[in-house]
């Protein structure tokens, strides 16, 4: 049997329940992965909270990325063998399970030195952070402002930007400032006076900005500081990005699909993790019977690094 977490209806994390279902058998082009870690993303609870979506299909689709071991191969699968350690970059259906079916085309090899928790967190957080830096062209000598830097995408954006040779100014609450310094950023408290605080740190201006929170403050500050709107990107303010003339990743027809950038970024992040030059800090791990608690923490919007479920 396979254990799987299912939202029985729309609502709060209280709707999540753990069920036993028959072990799935891979069809043509699929592999079955024995899951070692599942990465928690805000989009998981957007699917069932009844606010972001009321599409019944969304109740069947959450938990996008896992890391684990190949257990069984369907017909027409080549390049993978049972026992391979993998990252599944896109789990169709429900990834909150101890066994999942994944198209072989959505697998990346997990480097042996990368932890299960870090590996599971690479596709969405790593892919998005890399993609955001690419679309605004962050390079050596730039000063870049990262809003929401202490979260899952932020911790990777900060480290990747610093590795590119950029000076990184990063917003977070004061309790995360030492944490952000340890990742290579100069922290700035968000809230009233943010624009003045950033100007004081960077009197010569800011070259690019990444909005990873979608607040009006993050958008206003970015637009006030960055002269070229092509060098401002949001991953969260879907409704207004086009109107503001800034770049948008994910979420709707105007988004940059990043079909080529994202896998390149995921591979690059895995390589840098394997080399030990970046890290994915994991705030807390949860059991499969604690997914509701993990989602409550995510809904609180003050996660440091990543939350991970270990079945
Ligand atoms: N478009 C895409 O493809 C894509 C991909 C991934 C994620 N996303 C979206 O991007 C956002 C970030 O994702 P994530 O996984 O990084 O989320 P996350 O891990 O839940 O982010 C939590 C972080 O947000 C910070 N934060 C909360 N309020 C803030 C504010 N007013 N100003 C600045 N920082 C604030 C918190 O820092 P403090 O605790 O210090 O306040 C915390 O560290 C989410 O909305 C997510 O849905 C979009």
Low-confidence ranges of the chain (pLDDT < 70): 252-253
Give the C-alpha separation, 130 to 263, whole Å: 10
Tell me if 176 CB under 6 Å of ligand 1: yes
Alpha helix segments (H runs only) across the chain: 42-46, 116-120, 127-135, 152-163, 177-182, 194-201, 216-225, 241-244, 261-275, 291-299
DSSP for residue 39: E
Q: Which pLDDT score, from 0 to 100, does residue 261 have?
A: 84
- Atom 45 of ligand 1, residue of closest alpha carbon: 236
Domains of the chain: 2-121+280-309 (3.90.180.10), 125-248 (3.90.180.10)
Q: Which pLDDT score, from 0 to 100, does residue 287 have?
A: 98
Q: Which pLDDT score, from 0 to 100, does residue 257 have?
A: 75
Tokens of 174: 């004061």
Q: Kindly give the number of the ligand 1 atom that is closest to the alpha carbon of 248.
A: 1
DSSP code string of 129-180: HHHHHHHTT--TT-EEEEETTTSHHHHHHHHHHHHTT-EEEEEE-GGGHHHH
**Residue 272 Cα to ligand 1 middle (Å):** 22
Tell me if 154 CB under 6 Å of ligand 1: yes
Q: Which pLDDT score, from 0 to 100, does residue 285 have?
A: 97
Q: Which pLDDT score, from 0 to 100, does residue 46 have?
A: 93
Do 279 and 159 touch, CB atoms closer than 8 A?
A: yes
Q: Which pLDDT score, from 0 to 100, does residue 185 have?
A: 98
**Residue 213 Cα to ligand 1 middle (Å):** 5
Tell me if residue 73 falls in helix, strand or coil.
strand
Tell me if residue 61 falls in helix, strand or coil.
coil
């Amino acid at each position: 049997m396979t254990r799987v977490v299912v939202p029985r209806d729309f609502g709060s994390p209280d709707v999540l329940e753990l069920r036993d279902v028959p072990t799935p058998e891979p069809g043509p082009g699929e592999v079955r992965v024995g899951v070692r870690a599942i990465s928690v993303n805000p989009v998981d609870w957007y699917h069932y909270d009844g606010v972001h979506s009321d599409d019944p299909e969304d109740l069947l689709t959450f938990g996008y990325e896992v890391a684990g071991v190949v257990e069984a191969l369907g017909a027409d699968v080549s390049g993978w063998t049972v026992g391979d350690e993998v990252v599944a970059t896109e789990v169709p259906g429900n990834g909150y399970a101890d066994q999942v079916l994944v198209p072989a085309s959505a697998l990346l090899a997990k480097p042996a030195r990368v932890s299960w928790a870090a590996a599971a967190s690479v596709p969405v957080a790593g892919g998005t952070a890399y993609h955001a830096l690419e679309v605004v062209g962050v390079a050596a000598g730039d000063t870049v402002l990262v809003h929401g830097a202490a979260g899952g995408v932020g911790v990777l954006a900060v480290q990747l930007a610093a590795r590119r040779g950029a000076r990184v100014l990063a917003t977070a609450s004061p309790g995360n400032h030492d944490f952000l310094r340890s990742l290579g950023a100069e922290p700035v408290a968000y809230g009233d006076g943010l624009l003045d605080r950033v100007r004081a740190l960077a009197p010569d201006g800011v070259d690019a900005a990444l909005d990873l929170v979608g607040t009006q403050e993050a958008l206003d500050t970015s637009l006030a500081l960055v002269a070229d709107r092509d060098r401002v990107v949001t991953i969260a303010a879907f409704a207004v990005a086009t109107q503001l003339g800034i770049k948008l990743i994910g979420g709707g027809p105007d988004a940059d699909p990043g079909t080529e950038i994202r896998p390149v970024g995921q591979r690059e992040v895995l390589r840098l993790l394997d080399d030990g030059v970046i890290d994915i800090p994991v705030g807390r791990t949860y059991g499969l019977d604690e997914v509701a608690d993990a989602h409550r923490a995510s809904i609180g919007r003050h996660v440091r690094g990543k939350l991970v479920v270990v079945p």
